Structure 1
Amino acid sequence: MVAHGSASSNVGSRQLYEADDQRVDSRDEILGRERFKEGQTNSHKPNDSKDERSIANRLGREEQRNRKNEEPVNPEAELSKKDPTLPAQLHGNNPSKGAQVDAELKADDKKRLWEKGIK
């Protein structure tokens, strides 16, 4: 008597496996899936000797980090450097006591520098 191929298998019978075990997805399904989040933060250490990024990629990353570290310009902060009471006045409020004292000190300093002949 000759045994059939499936009956003499070394890995077990067909009934042990489910249909999904060896399922092949269609190309549309593969392309439609949400991809793993690429470029996660801290996935590359900047000084990792085993990192295979090119020099250009390393320089680009440093430029991005420098741009992130730059503080955005706040127009009210720039105005308060010229006149400490100005931001409050622009909002229709009375300036705080601290802003008034700062304005007086700034006027004093300006007056003394003018008396010494320094602009």
Structure 2
Amino acid sequence: MSGNSSVGQSGVYEAGDQRNYKDSELKAAQEPYKEGKENSHKNLDSKDERSIANKLAAEERNKGPSDDPETAASKKDPTLPATLHGNEPSKGAKLDAELQAEDEQRLREKQGK
């Protein structure tokens, strides 16, 4: 009774529902993230349907030496970026510098014992 449909011929409904795939086709289907164009996804796009694992994997791949000279300078001295720009360092930066100096002093004292 394949001719009872008013949508089309019987060929439309055959051989489409169940197929036996080769192992190579299954392995290729298990890695859909690698398909597509480079930079076609924005990592923080809320409408992107990538899984959290894929987002984390992309973030790991994009990690690298991203410290610009100003960030590296702020790690050494928290007040340095503001003074380089000709501004007075903020209260938080001054406090961070004091805490960092105290920590370094404690480390020197512990190494001396």
Higher relative contact order, structure no. (Cα contacts within 8 Å, ≥ 6 residues apart): 2
Question: TM-score under structure 1 normalisation?
Answer: 0.42
Question: TM-score under structure 2 normalisation?
Answer: 0.44
